[in-house]
Structure formats: structure tokens, C-alpha cells
Amino acid sequence: MKKRLLRGRVIDPPPVGPGWKVADLVDECFLAYNAARLREAAQLLVTKCLNEDVTIGMTLTGALTPAGLGVSCIIPLIEAGFVDWIISTGANLYHDTHFGLGLPLHVGRPNVDDVTLRKEGVVRIYDILFDYNVLLRTDEFFRRIFDAPEFQRTMGTAEFHYLCGKYIAERERVLGQKKRSLLSVAYEYGVPVYTSSPGDSSIGMNIAEKYFTGSKLRIDPIYDVNETTAIVLATKRGGGKSAVWILGGGSPKNFALQTEPQIQEVLKIDEKGHDYFIQITDARPDTGGLSGATPSEAVSWGKIDPAQLPDTVVCYCDSTIALPLLTAYALERHAPRRHKRLYERRGEFMQLLEREFHLAQKREARRKKRIKK
């Protein structure tokens, strides 16, 4: 028993020296506590999640893009084929657009007087500062593109963000800059981007303004429930595996994980749960919130395959620390993958989901008929 308990690696790291790569630092020196969880997450990402048959869904919560993580991390991950679909808060996508429009955000301090900032027309996100006109110019950009003919209908958020990405990419071209917005890069690589609460951001607020000007633009998030579910089911039916990479928690986390209960509980389609789970969070599990809910708790809902629990990692860490380290680790340790371009296959996936639903309905009807007999 003692021998089994002490079979773990002996803690005997080499001294850190100049010229170390991030991946070597993580592998050799992140040996305990949340550093060890970060190492486990990095190794799970590279050894299993980035296999060609795995489809990776990333969720974004918290003010990540204002901190520059869209440019520094998420765009390189998309370019490398390491992110196949995304669920984000609308706020992250709104602030991502500032970068695509060439509007500057500045490093500041968290203890600046907010009354003074308001008087001076400066907005603060903790220690990020920017001119209030950044908001106004971004609002103006969105309202202007919303007048385009292709926006004059009801759509889900993947299609909506794809169209936004197209216009942001064109704006980047005019400005002579490239790959500053994750929406424009997602558009380029066919990565569908969803927002679980489309009204809960300045993008949604500007759509709401258009209601008063005769616009026909409407966002239907129920499209997204089915499309995200279809992505997961198509992955599994194609012999692949599903990984979720969760930054933060909140609504995007649940929206990604609920795809499996939607398949099993609601649509009555036979499935077992997501295969791989990585979460970076500062939320505790004991308060009962979804953000801090553990993978083992998710098993009880059918969200995670119970057989895959060893392939789940939760690291309690600020995403602004963990994501650059995980990005560098993945890029150093794994070659780029083929881009799956899931956006272009949404129709195909939806047809599969509908077929499986009707087959499940027939099975359920036969089962109920047998019970009555």
C-alpha cells in the first residue's frame, strides 16, 4: 500500500536557468498545488485533446480580450488548429472588436479614482484604461454593418458572428493590420463562434437599438442550442472525441456542457458525455454555482463520460496567467492540426442531429408501447 501511495514522481526539479522554454518550465517545475494542475492540463491538452480525432470547444468568460488575450493567445490557437468552436460572452467579442478597428486600450492601475475617470471620459476594466470614444466608435461600427442586407433576417449567433468577422476582417485590411480580432480570424478559418446570452453585451444592446429603426435583424439563441449539440453529436458519430476547454465558467461553460444532456435527456439519443475537460477558474465548488462545479458533478448530469474522469483537470488560477502558459506549451509541444472548418458543416451536422432525433423518437415510442403491453 505504501509503495503504491509513493509511486509519484520524486520532487527534485532542476534549477531554473536562462533560455528555458515555457513547456520545459511547466514540465520540470510545476510540481504541486495549482501549478501541478496547470501542468496536468497542459499535458492533457497536448497528449490527448490535440489528437486529430478530437474536436475542441473553447469557452471564454471574464474580460479576456480587453487584456489582449485574443491577440496573444486565442488567435494563435485558432491558426494552429487547436480550437474548433467557441462559446464566448458577448462582452469578450465586443472588446475583441476594438482591436480589429485599431482602437487602443491602455495598461493602467486598479486604484485610479473612478470619479476622475468619469469626468475625463476614461473607462476602466480593473487595470485597463481606454477612451470612452472607443465604445462609441465600436457601437457606430456595429450599427453601420447591421444595416447591410445580409443582416436583415433571423439567425443564430454563429452566423451572426461570421458576418461580423467578415466586416472586421475588411476593416483590418483597410487599416493595414492583420489578425488583431479573433472574430476576423474565426471567420477566416471557419471556426463557429457562439454567444450563450446574446443580449447581455454592448453588441446585443446595439442590436436592440436597431429594433427602433426598422431593422429585421433578430438573434435566435435556440439555433445555437441545436447547432452546438449537432457539433458534439457529429464528432462522436464520426468516431471522434469531444474536448471542452473552459476559461472561467458562467453561461458559456454551461452552454458547452449542456450539449450532452440535450442529446441524452431531451432528444433521447444514446450518448455518454464529453471525453476531455480542462477548466481554468477561480470559482469554488462549495457555493453551488455552475462556474465552480467540478467534472465529477457534471457526470451526474450526463455532461461528462464517467469513464473519462481521469482525463479531466480543474486548475484554480487566473485565466490571464494560465492561458498564455497553456498556449505557449501547446505551440511548443504539438504541431499544427488540420482546420476542421466546422462553420461550413453546420447544415450537415444539423441533418444528422435531426435524423438521430427521429430515430430516437421511434425507439421511445416502441419502448412505451412495450411497457403498456
| Measured distance CA(300)–CA(94) in Å, rounded | 35
Intra-chain end-to-end CA distance of the chain, in Å? 54
| Measured distance CA(2)–CA(247) in Å, rounded | 37
Catalytic residue among 272, 303, 369, 372: 303
| Measured distance CA(29)–CA(325) in Å, rounded | 13
What are the C-alpha distances in Å from 16 to residues 38, 39, 327?
18, 16, 20
Collapsing DSSP states into helix, strand and coil, what is residue 194? strand
Give the CB-side neighbour count of residue 102, counting CA atoms within 13 A.
10
Backbone phi and psi for residue 245, each to the nearest 5 degrees, phi listed first? -120, 105
Quickly tell me which residue has 476531455 as its cell. Answer: 276
Asked about 236 being catalytic, the answer comes back as no
β-strand partners of 278: 245, 313
**In one letter, which amino acid is 72?**
S
| Measured distance CA(373)–CA(368) in Å, rounded | 9
Collapsing DSSP states into helix, strand and coil, what is residue 49? helix
Which residues does the annotation mark as catalytic? 303
